[in-house]
């Protein structure tokens, strides 16, 4: 696996610096598929050997527990989540009520989104790009946000996404033709009035991302 990753990185670096031949592009595609297959197999092997213990001491596979939670409605309805009273504890500083044994329960329940979404959206979420943008936005506007919203409930109730944005995506052999073909679609998905490829993306927020293990930068600016 180490040799595989080393060769993938070697080709990625050469692609950025001088480009790849047709033979190298074919090798790169083959190696990526091989890496993904091995990664998935490794994850499956790991999860198949992970077990949890329920409140009665019964051992259950982790994957089966997730399926059971889905079937019982726990992932979609907050009132379907059941806690074990014997595992109830309180935090030392603020005395907040929490439960052990079944993982950490969030302050705000967010139901599993079962609606259809696009491959583009799934990739953005999988790479953590939306989370990183949200964190960057909060860091840059923390004083304004804390002054306007007194608590979490006020933020959830009153915050509106209204700003249009401009997006610059680092130009590569992969991204440039994709942006030319799908700029309008990406703009519609992200409220962007402009989506373009740039040699050195610049804007209010610049994040490091990747496409198929090839690192690139994405910049976002208010329109």
In a domain, 205, yes or no: yes
In a domain, 105, yes or no: no
Question: How many angstroms separate the Cα of 169 from the Cα of each of 93, 126, 211?
Answer: 44, 18, 11
Q: What is the pLDDT of residues 31-64, one digit of tens each?
A: 888 888 888 787 777 777 777 776 677 787 877 7
CB 195 within 8 A of CB 165: no
The DSSP H or E segment spanning 14 is helix 2-17
Let me know whether 135 and 58 are in one domain: no
Let me know whether 130 and 199 are in one domain: yes
Whole-number Å distance between alpha carbons of 1 and 178: 30
Let me know whether 60 and 25 are in one domain: no
Residue where a domain stops, chosen among 31, 64, 99:
99
Let me know whether 173 and 216 are in one domain: yes
Q: Which domain holds residue 61?
A: 52-99
Average model confidence (pLDDT) across the chain: 79
Cα–Cα–Cα angle for 42, 30, 6, rounded to 5 degrees: 65
Let me know whether 21 and 59 are in one domain: no
Q: What is the pLDDT of residues 129-145, one digit of tens each?
A: 777 777 877 887 888 88
In a domain, 104, yes or no: no
> Which of 31, 28, 32 has its CA nearest to residue 20?
28
Band of residue 215 on the pLDDT scale cut at 50, 70, 90: confident
Let me know whether 208 and 124 are in one domain: yes
CATH (domain of 18): 1.10.287.540
Let me know whether 130 and 168 are in one domain: yes
């Amino acid at each position: 696996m180490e040799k595989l990753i080393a060769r993938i990185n070697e080709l990625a670096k050469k692609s950025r610096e001088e480009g790849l031949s047709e033979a190298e592009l074919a090798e790169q595609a083959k190696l990526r598929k091989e890496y993904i297959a091995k990664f998935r197999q490794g994850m499956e092997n790991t999860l198949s050997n992970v077990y949890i213990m329920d409140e009665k001491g019964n051992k259950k596979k982790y994957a089966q527990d997730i399926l059971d939670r889905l079937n019982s409605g726990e992932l979609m309805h907050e009132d379907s989540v059941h806690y074990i009273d014997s595992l109830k504890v309180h935090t030392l500083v603020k005395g907040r009520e929490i439960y052990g044994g079944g993982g950490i329960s969030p302050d705000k329940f967010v139901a599993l989104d079962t609606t259809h979404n696009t491959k583009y959206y799934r990739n953005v979420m999988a790479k953590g790009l939306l989370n990183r943008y949200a964190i960057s936005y909060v860091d840059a506007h923390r004083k304004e946000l804390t002054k306007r919203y007194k608590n979490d409930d006020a933020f959830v109730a009153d915050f509106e996404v209204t700003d249009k944005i401009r997006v610059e995506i680092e130009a590569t052999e992969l991204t440039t033709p994709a942006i030319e073909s799908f700029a309008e679609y990406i703009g519609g998905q992200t409220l962007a009035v402009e989506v373009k490829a740039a040699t050195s993306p610049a804007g209010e927020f610049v994040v490091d991302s990747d496409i198929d293990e090839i690192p690139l930068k994405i910049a976002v600016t208010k329109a």
